[in-house]
A = this chain, B = another copy of it.
């Protein structure tokens, strides 16, 4: 039937939903199948095993993630610094909207770290190394980064970012900041005796610091560019 989603996608969507609430480990393949409205066996027809399914999900996460970068690049009338600022907002939003995708990306970075260190490569689950989706990821994982670097380059050209900065190093640093920001929203949100700031209060300050870092001069007169539309 025309209106019927293909099974492969059905399974993936089911996995996303379940991984979101129960996590990868605690989600059973049987439940993935049940939620997708198919049999357990069929799941294994489309995905070799649980890890393969997760790698497929990770691949989709990267595709979606890259799309966020593309959208920023497509936006007209913005300088490089504004693009980067937009991007930060988009990624923070992305991590809230698609927590599983975001976690999958982080997980892939961990695997990649081991993969790039010959001594640790053997510690990676063989099922992951087997997955065709993992190998696709090895090919494409840098694409979002490439787009990000492009934004920094644009910023340097249009003067919104300090000319002496190296685009690669700069963008990697920006992404680092973002990744860490997400991790830190746990302790920051703690309403206990000693917590001073909340996650919401932190974001503008965080973005401003990043902008200062990129601009290199303190421009108190010109307020920091902060998205508020997203939250």
Q: Could you list which residues of chain A lie within 8 angstroms of chain B, going by C-beta atoms?
A: 21-23, 25, 106, 109-117, 123, 138, 141-142, 145-146, 149, 162, 164-166, 168-170, 172-173, 175-181, 183-192, 194-197, 201-202, 205-206, 209-210, 212-213, 216-218, 220
Q: In the complex, what distance in Å separates the CA atom of A165 from the CA atom of B110?
A: 33
Contact (Cβ within 8 A) B192 A138: yes
Q: Are the C-beta atoms of A187 and B22 separated by less than 8 Å?
A: no
Chain B residue, CB-CB nearest to A220: B164
Residue of B nearest to A120 (CB): B21
| Distance of A18 from chain B, by nearest CB (Å) | 12
- Min CB–CB distance A217 → chain B (angstroms): 7
Pair B187/A180 contact, Cβ less than 8 Å: no
Q: Given A213-B209, A218-B164: A109 and B183 within 8 A (CB)? A: yes
Please tell me if the beta carbons of A173 and B112 are within 8 angstroms of each other in the complex.
no
Q: Are B21 and A162 in contact (CB under 8 A)?
A: no
Inter-chain contact A175/B169, CB cutoff 8 Å: no
Can you sample 22 A-B contacts with CB below 8 Å? A23-B123, A110-B186, A113-B186, A113-B189, A116-B190, A141-B187, A142-B187, A164-B218, A166-B205, A168-B197, A170-B205, A170-B209, A172-B188, A173-B206, A173-B210, A176-B177, A176-B183, A176-B206, A178-B180, A180-B180, A180-B181, A180-B183
Which B residues lie within 8 Å of A111 (CB)?
186
Given the complex of chains A and B, what is the CA–CA distance between A117 and B99 in angstroms? 14
Which chain B residues border A190 with CB–CB below 8 Å? 112, 116, 142
Q: Which one of B117, B172, B213 contacts A202 once the chains associate, using CB atoms below 8 Å? A: B172
Q: Are B197 and A116 in contact (CB under 8 A)?
A: no
- Let me know if A109 and B216 touch, CB within 8 A: no
Contact among B187, B202, B220 for A169, CB-based, below 8 A: B202
Contact A110 B183 (CB under 8 A): yes
Bound together, the chains give a CA A56 to CA B145 distance in angstroms of 37
Q: Is the CB of B173 within 8 A of A179?
A: no
Which residues on the B side are within 8 Å of A164 (C-beta)?
218, 220
- Whether the pair B173, A205 counts as a contact (CB closer than 8 A) is yes
Assembly CA distance A176 to B194 (angstroms): 19
Given contacts A116-B186, A181-B176, A187-B142, contact A169 B123 (CB under 8 A): no
